[in-house]
């Protein structure tokens, strides 16, 4: 017996279905079957039946159609394997990769395959087309196509000359091979099945042993060709069949019901084909259309409306639904709901490929497959595979850039990459250790040595893990991957166990909770893959890691996880498809614009197989519209909201459905926005979050007793006070026992910079490459003057300019590889060009040096007779007036014995040359000098045992020698120290000199040391520096000339970005960058 029951499409649908089912179910629960189209539909019916009966029911009597047929297959053929739809995606991806190699002879088809293989979405698009044509080819005849408008249109349009059809035929052939093969590759009668083949088996091969009593079918809006055939076979299995069908509606979106009605008529059911008007399904429903200024305003206003409803007990949270056009809307809603305290559930299916933890776990495989590329190695370091390290990612990148490893060539083998990286790190470490005792920046170099050791340890750990992954490269399985994961978890390499610490605060740590859900879903994916897919792939005896990674990574794009599992009594945020049969008293349809309603997912591959793309689009629009109308029917109040403009002010057009709905349901659109959106809300009735309330109370001077508000208010007042009255002076003393000229100079540049680098030990964004040229020039000059210490030797060579230049170049080539780490600069052509430029600079510097070494005035000049020392490294305790025994490290570039001396007496120099003197020289690649550096060199020399007696009765000249930008001569820019008297020239072109006692320098140093010791670390971005360069202070006091001393301002400071983030503080302004000096 066949019966039809026509149901009006309304919000009581499930109630009405359940009421009709209960008497039939209670007659014989074990000879009764209810079949529906989807898991959600069947669950809604079964839950209502159980609720109304108030007892446990036989859930096996309520089945989704494909689930029921699959279980019949498993009972009949227990050894068979049913491949899920997900397998087909992996299968298509794998087959396309194989076909690229196989079809190399067909260049057009091969190129086509290469293009589509690069797109992640292409697999979904192809599967959509494949499933339709695959189902059609499984039919014994095409008679049932007439019941499906979608399938019939598609079948009639498929161009058999297209590349896509050619691909389909290849996929069809290989899938048939898989379905007819055992897992060891032999042919068998025990087949494997995909979802479509399960239906085909049921229709053609299932043996009906006896009839059950009652079958009820409900919920179908359309029928695929095989589904109609399956239903025919199901009718044969039961004595009585009741088919519940929806009332036909006079709307284009429900034309698919014509196919269902025609099917029922053709199969002996009696049914009226009368259609109802669409409007009849919306009697007694409320409609609103609300215009908002932009999407943020839209979200905040909807949230405010919901909050008021909840406060006033108008609705429970579970009675309200929000239908979103895309996930970005949902994310903003969920963030704002968190802020204003609305319980919600965002029903979001997120692909596993978007999970951080899943990507981290796949990163080692990705690194191996892609050939150990630099970005992959850094990604592994960043996610913890190198172990715990005090080095930041910025520091690691900085070192790799300095060693030119950041630019390592693309793909490599593990051994080659390890050899290259570890060797370069070790060479650099060795160089640092060699320079340690030659530098006056001993502490900085010691720190670099320590960091370099940490860097090496980090990469050794990393390469060990990659070596372990590589062990099974040629035969990689889910099992071997899971063993690796177990080991990583057991050793807590990735610190994943720490996630458990946050489980109690899961709602406050949404991201962590989401990642835990992703981890569980990934574990489930691996188990499922291990049980089914791996068996199918066993016919390939060795699955290489490359293929394994492609399969797993493709599955992570298919499989999804839920951001939240919070279901009870919450406002539900959902997409249109999920909202269809979900009843809510009030539903908001947000983003009701032309871009989202309708939102038609066009399959671009349809263009390549048919000229009837327009028809396909129209069918897709009908499906979208049907989903929208069903969703609307399951609500008492329907509110459409849309922004009228983007945040930048561009107009947004409303949905084309809007005008139709206005006329159909007699809706009057409302404008709920002002010309100017309020950043800080003025109306307390519109304030729903603590943050907004705090601002309102503080701005309006309202005192409240709530402790939370009091604390928040105090925090804001404290922050506001700190903004004005921030402290930069620490109450704790700072040690001044270990200094260098570099540290003292840094303090003068900016006290805060000194604090960051020397007290807080923070590494700034320093580019090591800027030091390379200077270091190279220093080494060349050192070796040159060790080899030719006498003035006469250099002078004689300088007569033949090319000879001197060639000597410089010869030394440069000798020291290049130990100094320059830039891989590009190691190419011979680049090296030759760079050395030529450096030789030109140094030649000009030496020529100026020889021509005008020290020039007191016309006809009163001195030059060196011999270079006594180069790279003199000293560590001495210095005594100033107040501060005693301050340890100073210095490295003096050069000490010369001069060819004579001019004594300074009674405010002028004697005309007669007498005796001899020394000069202390510091090389500068650029003429950026700080004269206190030379004074500290002089003091450490005088304190050393070797030089104490030599300098006791000798005059000393202090001078800088520029190694580039040396067109101007600097012979008169010297400082003389004679009998503790400092002598400098007067400003301008004056031939006169001024003098002052060296105790002025001691006082200046005491002042500087006092500031450091008293922890005065106020940035120059906050207030002017308290202490200036020594010579600048002396110029102001004694009117001596400016020797060209410079400050390193904010322009290129390594902590510039950090300070820029502090500009919210009052009177804190980082000096703008200037590229002109």
Residue among 44, 113, 91, 34 nearest 67 (CA) = 34
What's the pLDDT at 966?
A: 59
Helix (H) / strand (E) containing 574: strand 571-575
* C-alpha–C-alpha distance, residues 249 and 280, integer Å: 9
Quickly list DSSP for 199-215: HHHHHHH----S-EEEE
CB 1033 within 8 A of CB 1004: yes
Cβ atoms 977, 997 nearer than 8 A: no
Instruction: Read off the DSSP letter of residue 986.
Output: P
Which range, of 590-599, 607-616, 758-767, 988-997, averages the lowest pLDDT?
A: 607-616
Instruction: Determine the pLDDT at residue 182.
Output: 46
SS3 for 820? coil
Least confident of 166-175, 751-760, 832-841, 850-859: 166-175
Angle 195-205/225-236 helices, nearest 10 degrees? Answer: 40
Q: What is the pLDDT at residue 824? A: 47
Pairwise CA distance, residues 347 & 345, whole Å:
6
pLDDT band at 715 (very low <50, low <70, confident <90, very high): confident
DSSP character string of 92-150: HHHHHHHHHHHTTTSHHHHHHHHHHHT-TTHHHHHHHHHHHHHHHHT-S-SGGGGG-HH
Whether 231 has a pLDDT exceeding 90, the answer reads yes
User: Which pLDDT score is estimated for 634?
Assistant: 94
Radius of gyration of the chain (CA): 41
pLDDT at 428 over 70: yes
Q: In the predicted model, what is the mean pLDDT of residues 425-449? A: 80
Residue with structure tokens 């400016």? Answer: 1042
pLDDT of residue 220: 93
Residues found in the chain: 1077
Q: What is the pLDDT of residue 549?
A: 84
Percent with pLDDT over 90 in the chain: 38
Place of tokens 């001044």: 736
Token output for 492: 């807590």
Please compute the mean of the pLDDT values over residues 947-958 and round it to a whole number: 91
pLDDT of residue 560: 82
Which residues are within 8 A (CB) of 788 and not within 5 positions of it... i.e. 6 or more apart? 794, 797
Q: What pLDDT score does 440 carry?
A: 61
User: What is residue 541's predicted lDDT score, i.e. its pLDDT?
Assistant: 52
350 pLDDT above the threshold of 60: yes
Confidence of residue 183 (pLDDT cuts 50, 70, 90): very low
pLDDT at 493 over 70: yes
User: Residue 809's pLDDT is what?
Assistant: 92
pLDDT at residue 1077 greater than cutoff 50: no
Per the CB < 8 A criterion, the answer to whether 995 and 904 are in contact is yes
pLDDT at 751: 94
Q: Which two tokens stand for residue 268?
A: 């002996």
* Eight-class DSSP state of 323: E
- Within a 10 A sphere around the Cβ of 611, how many other Cβ atoms? 9
Residue 60's Cα: distance from chain center in Å? 46
Mean pLDDT of 660-667: 93
Does residue 188 surpass a pLDDT of 50? no
**pTM surpassing 0.75?**
no
pLDDT of 467 above 70: yes
Rounded alpha-carbon distances, angstroms, from residue 835 to 713, 768, 946: 64, 19, 37
Task: State yes or no: pLDDT of 537 exceeds 70.
Answer: no
For residues 918-929, give the mean pLDDT: 86
Helix boundaries (H) for 294-326? 295-311
Give dist(CA 441, CA 435) in Å, integer: 10
Give the per-residue pLDDT at 232: 92
pLDDT band at 965 (very low <50, low <70, confident <90, very high): low
Per-residue model confidence as pLDDT tens digits over 679-713: 667 777 788 887 777 777 777 777 777 776 777 67
Phi-psi region for residue 1045, left (φ > 0), alpha (ψ -120 to 50) or beta?
A: beta
Look at residue 627 in the predicted model and tell me its pLDDT.
Answer: 92
What the block records as the tokens of 184 is 């060891």
2-81+203-277 with 284-348+572-671: one CATH topology?
A: yes
Phi/psi of residue 34, each to 5°?
-110, 125
Residue 185 scores a pLDDT above 50? no
Q: Residue 257: which H helix or E strand, with range?
A: helix 256-266
| pLDDT of the residue at 673 | 80
Which carries the bigger pLDDT value, residue 718 or residue 362?
362
Q: 606 vs 14, 136, 154, 155, 602, CA distance in Å?
A: 37, 17, 9, 12, 8
> Using 50, 70 and 90 to split pLDDT, how confident is the model at 409?
low
pLDDT of 189 above 60: no
pLDDT > 70? residue 827: no
Tell me the C-alpha distance between 735 and 732, whole Å. 10
Which of 147-151, 261-265, 609-613, 743-747 shows the lowest mean pLDDT across its residues? 609-613
Provide the pLDDT for residue 120: 61
Cα dist from 630 to 9, 45, 237, 623, 791, whole Å: 8, 17, 32, 11, 98
Which run of H or of E encompasses 871?
Answer: strand 864-878
Distance of alpha carbon 982 from alpha carbon 1033, whole angstroms: 14
Residue 304 sits at the vertex; the CA angle it makes with 298 and 305, to the nearest 5 degrees, is 90
How is the chain split among helix, strand and coil, in percent rounded to 5?
A: 50, 15, 30
Question: Out of 321-335, 608-622, 923-937, 1050-1064, which region has the weakest mean confidence (pLDDT)?
Answer: 608-622
Within 478-581, residue ranges assigned H as helices are 478-490, 510-531, 533-536, 545-558
Q: What is the largest CA-CA distance in the chain?
A: 135
- Measured CA to CA, the distance from residue 936 to residue 298 in angstroms comes to 67
Q: What angle do CA 844, 850, 851 make, to 5 degrees?
A: 85
C-alpha 168 chain-centroid distance: 37
Question: Does residue 847 register a pLDDT over 80?
Answer: yes
DSSP 973: -
Ranges 167-176, 215-224, 903-912: which has the least confidence: 167-176
Under 8 Å between Cβ of 165 and 159: yes
Q: N- to C-terminal Cα distance for the chain?
A: 97
540: its two tokens: 């390939």
Share of residues in the chain with pLDDT > 70 (%): 88
Torsion angle defined by CA atoms of residues 127, 129, 135 and 140, in that order, rounded to the nearest 10 degrees: -150
Q: Look over the chain and give the mean of its residue pLDDT values, rounded to a whole number.
A: 84
**Has residue 190 got a pLDDT over 70?**
no
The conformational region for residue 1067 under phi > 0 = left, psi -120 to 50 = alpha, else beta, is: left
CATH of 2-81+203-277, one of 3.40.630.30, 3.40.50.150, 1.10.630.10, 3.40.50.300: 3.40.50.300
Structure tokens at 61: 């009597």
CA–CA dist 980, 74 (Å, integer): 103
pLDDT at 1075: 44
Instruction: Give the CATH superfamily of 284-348+572-671.
Output: P-loop containing nucleotide triphosphate hydrolases (3.40.50.300)
Instruction: Give the model's pLDDT for residue 677.
Output: 63
Q: Kindly indicate the confidence band of residue 868, based on its pLDDT and cuts at 50, 70 and 90.
A: very high
Cα(898)–Cα(866) distance, rounded to whole angstroms?
A: 7
> pLDDT at position 491, please?
79
Q: What is the pLDDT of residues 251-285, one digit of tens each?
A: 988 888 999 999 999 999 999 888 889 888 898 89
DSSP element (H, E) containing 560 = strand 560-562
Each domain of the chain, given as residue ranges in start order, spans 2-81+203-277, 85-192, 284-348+572-671, 353-562, 684-724, 773-851
Average confidence (pLDDT) over 1043-1048: 85
């Amino acid at each position: 017996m066949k019966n039809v029951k026509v149901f009006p499409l309304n919000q009581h649908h499930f109630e009405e279905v359940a009421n009709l089912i209960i008497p039939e179910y209670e007659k014989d629960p074990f000879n009764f079957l209810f079949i529906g189209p989807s898991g959600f539909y069947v669950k809604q019916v079964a839950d209502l039946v159980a609720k109304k009966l108030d007892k446990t029911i036989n859930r096996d009597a309520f089945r989704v159609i494909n689930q029921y047929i699959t279980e019949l297959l498993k009972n009949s053929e227990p050894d068979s394997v049913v491949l899920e739809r997900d397998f087909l995606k992996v299968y298509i991806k794998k087959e396309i990769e194989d076909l690229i190699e196989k079809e190399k002879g067909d260049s057009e088809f091969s190129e086509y395959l290469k293009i589509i293989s690069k797109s992640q979405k292409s697999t979904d698009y192809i599967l959509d087309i494949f499933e339709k044509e695959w189902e059609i080819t499984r039919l014994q005849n095409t008679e049932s196509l007439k019941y499906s408008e979608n399938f019939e249109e598609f079948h009639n349009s498929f161009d058999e000359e297209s590349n896509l059809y050619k691909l389909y035929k290849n996929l069809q052939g290989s899938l048939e091979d898989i379905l007819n093969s055992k897992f060891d590759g032999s042919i068998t009668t025990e087949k494997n099945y995909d979802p479509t083949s399960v239906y085909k088996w049921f229709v053609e091969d299932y043996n009906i042993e006896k009839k059950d009593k009652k079958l009820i079918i409900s919920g179908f809006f359309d029928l695929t060709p095989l589904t109609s055939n399956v239903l025919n076979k199901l009718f044969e299995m039961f004595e009585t069949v009741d088919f519940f069908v929806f009332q036909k509606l006079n709307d284009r979106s429900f034309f698919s019901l014509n196919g269902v009605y025609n099917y029922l008529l053709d199969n002996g059911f009696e049914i009226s084909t009368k259609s109802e008007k669409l409007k009849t399904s919306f009697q007694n429903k409320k409609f609103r259309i609300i215009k908002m200024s932009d999407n943020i305003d839209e979200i905040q206003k909807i949230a405010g409306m919901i909050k008021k409803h909840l406060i006033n007990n108008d609705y429970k949270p579970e009675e309200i639904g929000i239908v979103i056009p895309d996930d970005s809307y949902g994310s903003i809603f969920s963030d704002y709901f968190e802020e204003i305290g609305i319980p919600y559930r965002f029903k979001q299916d997120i692909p596993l490929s978007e999970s951080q933890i899943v990507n981290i776990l796949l990163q080692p495989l990705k690194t191996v497959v892609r050939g150990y590329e630099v970005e992959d190695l850094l990604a592994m370091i960043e996610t913890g595979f190198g172990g715990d390290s005090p080095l930041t990612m910025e520091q690691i990148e900085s070192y790799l850039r300095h060693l030119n490893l950041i630019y390592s060539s693309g793909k490599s083998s593990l051994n080659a990459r390890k050899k290259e990286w570890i060797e370069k790190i070790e060479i650099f470490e060795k160089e640092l250790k060699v320079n340690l005792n030659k530098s006056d920046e001993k502490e900085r170099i010691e720190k670099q040595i320590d960091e370099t050791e940490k860097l090496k340890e980090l990469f050794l750990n990393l390469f060990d893990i990659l070596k372990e992954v590589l062990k099974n490269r040629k035969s990689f399985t889910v099992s071997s991957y899971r063993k690796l994961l177990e080991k990583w978890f057991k050793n807590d390499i990735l610190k994943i166990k720490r996630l458990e610490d946050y489980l109690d605060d899961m709602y406050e740590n949404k991201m962590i909770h989401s990642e835990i859900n992703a981890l569980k879903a990934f574990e489930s994916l691996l188990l499922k893959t291990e049980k089914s897919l791996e068996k199918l792939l066993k016919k390939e005896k060795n699955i290489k890691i490359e293929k394994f990674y492609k399969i797993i990574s493709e599955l992570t794009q298919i499989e999804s996880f839920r951001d939240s599992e919070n279901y009870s009594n919450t406002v539900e945020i959902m997409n249109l498809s999920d909202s269809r049969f979900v009843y809510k008293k009030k539903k908001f349809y947000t983003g009701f614009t032309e871009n989202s309603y309708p939102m038609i997912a066009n399959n671009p591959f349809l263009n390549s197989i048919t000229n009837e793309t327009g028809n396909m689009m129209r069918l897709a629009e009908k499906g979208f519209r049907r989903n929208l109308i069903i969703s609307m029917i399951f609500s008492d109040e329907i509110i459409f909201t849309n922004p009228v403009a983007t945040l930048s002010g561009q107009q947004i057009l409303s949905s084309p459905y809007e005008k139709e709905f206005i006329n159909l349901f007699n809706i009057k659109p409302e404008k709920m926005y002002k010309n100017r959106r309020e950043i800080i809300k003025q109306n307390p009735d519109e304030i729903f979050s603590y943050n907004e309330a705090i601002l309102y109370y503080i701005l309006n001077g309202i005192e409240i007793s709530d402790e939370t508000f009091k604390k928040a208010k105090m925090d804001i007042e404290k922050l506001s006070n700190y903004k004005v009255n921030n402290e930069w002076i620490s109450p704790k003393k700072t040690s001044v026992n270990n200094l260098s000229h570099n540290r003292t100079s840094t303090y003068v540049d900016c006290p805060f910079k000194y604090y960051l680098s020397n007290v807080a030990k923070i590494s700034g964004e320093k580019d090591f490459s800027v030091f390379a040229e200077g270091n190279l020039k220093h080494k060349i000059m050192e070796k040159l003057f060790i080899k030719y210490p006498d003035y006469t030797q250099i002078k004689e060579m300088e007569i033949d300019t090319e000879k001197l230049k060639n000597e410089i170049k010869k030394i440069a080539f000798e020291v290049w590889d130990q100094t320059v780490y830039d891989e590009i600069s190691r190419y011979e052509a680049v090296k030759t060009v760079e050395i030529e430029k450096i030789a030109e600079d140094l030649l000009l510097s030496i020529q100026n040096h020889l021509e005008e070494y020290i020039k007191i005035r016309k006809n009163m000049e001195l030059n060196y007779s011999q270079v006594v020392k180069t790279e003199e490294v000293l560590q001495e305790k210095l005594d100033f007036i107040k501060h005693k025994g301050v340890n100073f490290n210095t490295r003096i570039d050069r000490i010369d014995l001069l060819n004579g001396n001019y004594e300074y007496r009674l405010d002028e120099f004697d005309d007669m040359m007498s005796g001899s003197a020394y000069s202390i020289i510091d090389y500068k690649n650029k003429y950026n000098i700080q004269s206190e550096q030379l004074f500290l060199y002089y003091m450490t020399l005088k304190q050393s045992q070797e030089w104490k007696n030599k300098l006791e009765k000798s005059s000393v000249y202090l001078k800088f020698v520029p190694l580039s930008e040396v067109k101007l001569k600097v012979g008169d820019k010297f400082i003389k120290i004679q009998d503790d008297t400092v002598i400098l020239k007067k400003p301008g072109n004056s031939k006169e000199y001024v003098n002052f006692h060296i105790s002025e320098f001691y006082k200046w140093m005491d002042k500087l040391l006092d500031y450091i010791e008293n922890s005065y670390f106020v940035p120059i971005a906050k207030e002017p520096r308290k202490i200036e360069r020594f010579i600048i202070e002396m110029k102001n006091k004694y009117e001596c000339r400016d020797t060209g001393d410079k400050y390193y301002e904010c322009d290129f400071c390594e902590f510039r970005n950090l300070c820029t983030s502090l500009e919210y503080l009052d009177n804190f302004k980082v000096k703008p960058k200037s590229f002109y000096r």
